[in-house]
Amino acid sequence: MVEILEFERPRKRLFLALLALSLCVVAGIVYAVWHVSYLGLSEISRYLPLILGGLLAAVFLFTGLGLVGIVGAILGVPYLSVFQRKTYALINLLFPIAIMLGKVFGFNRRKIERSFIAVSNQIIHQQHLKVPADRLLVVTPHCLQLASCPHKITRDPMGNCQRCGRCDIGALVALAEEMGFHFFVVTGGTLARQTVKKIRPQAVLAIACERDLTSGIQDVYPLPAVGVLNLRPNGPCYNTHVDIAAVRREIEAILLDEEKD
């Protein structure tokens, strides 16, 4: 099946709406459990249902404020660091429910993941993250390399890619040379995690499909990871491409201008 990525702008509000709905569903379930156990708890102590109810309400309030914090972060409103730290914990917790609810409302998983990536990128940009080039790691999947290319570019694309121009790896190698960031081609999540461990970057820019970016961004947290979607004119995982101008824009947005500093 030929798969071409649509260039429609991902709607951040889709993911945020599903996240809010997920929170309401969780709150409803927790309330139902509390209600059912009310009588049993009050037999132990008449204060117990109140104490438990108060605790659950406090957790719900904190989580709700976290969600408000995410919306604030997207709009550029500064929010408390305690909520910043919990942002992805909250997202990780509610993400499977958001996907399920999305399916109920007829949104496919990929569209929701695209919306999540847009939300995550926006949060990072609003934090005005700036890192030196040698602390930025750019990783891309192996499928970006031309399938018939004989050169082994995983682990050492800078040394082994001949920059023949037949796939986008050459352009990324040239960009890495020009800008000075670390660039690696990885064959899967394990190698990606090993590379992050080895390089110890301050930020990551990952090029991949919706599924891999979503899990990767959540995996490396609290390390900030910007995601750029790959293009798949030949179907998934085969001779994929990336918009090099978009990659350059994203990198320029997070690179520290060393001449100024």
Contacts of 172 (CB under 8 A, 6+ apart): 138, 140, 144, 157, 183, 242, 244, 247
Burial class (CB in 10 A: 0-12, 13-18, 19+), 122: middle
Nearest approach in angstroms of CB 141 to ligand SF4 is 13
Token couple for 121: 């990128």
Tell me the one-letter amino acid at 172.
L
Taking the complex as a whole, the smallest distance from the CB of residue 238 to ligand SF4 amounts, in Å, to 14
Shortest CB 211 distance to ligand SF4, Å: 23
Q: Which residue, 103 or 163, has its beta carbon nearer to ligand SF4?
A: 163
Q: The sheet that has 225-229: what strands, in order across it?
A: 182-186, 136-141, 203-208, 225-229
Binding ligand SF4 by CB under 6 A: which of 63, 120, 145, 214?
Answer: 145
Site string for ligand SF4, 102-141 (x = CB under 6 A): ----------------------------------------
Place of tokens 């008449």: 46
Binding mask 149-188 for ligand SF4 (x = CB under 6 A): x-x-x-------xxxx-xx-xx------------------
Bridge-based pairing of strands 182-186 and 136-141 is parallel
Of residues 138 and 255, the one with the C-beta less far from ligand SF4: 138
Residue with smaller CB distance to ligand SF4, 153 or 206: 153
Task: Pick the stretch among 76-84, 146-154, 176-184, 245-253 that binds ligand SF4 (CB under 6 A).
Answer: 146-154
Toward ligand SF4, which CB reaches closer, 81 or 148? 148
What residue type is assigned to position 81 of the chain?
S
Tokens 């995996």 label which residue? 219
CB of 186 to ligand SF4, least distance (A): 14
Based on CB atoms, which residue is closest to ligand SF4, 96 or 165?
Answer: 165
- Helix H, strand E, coil C: the string for 122-151 is HHHHHCCCCECHHHEEEEEEHHHCCCCCCC
Angle at 257 between CA 255 and CA 258, to 5 degrees: 115
- Which residue, 70 or 185, is less far from ligand SF4 as judged by CB? 185
Residue 67 binds ligand SF4 (CB under 6 A):
no
- List of residues contacting ligand SF4 (CB under 6 A): 145-146, 149, 151, 153, 161-164, 166-167, 169-170
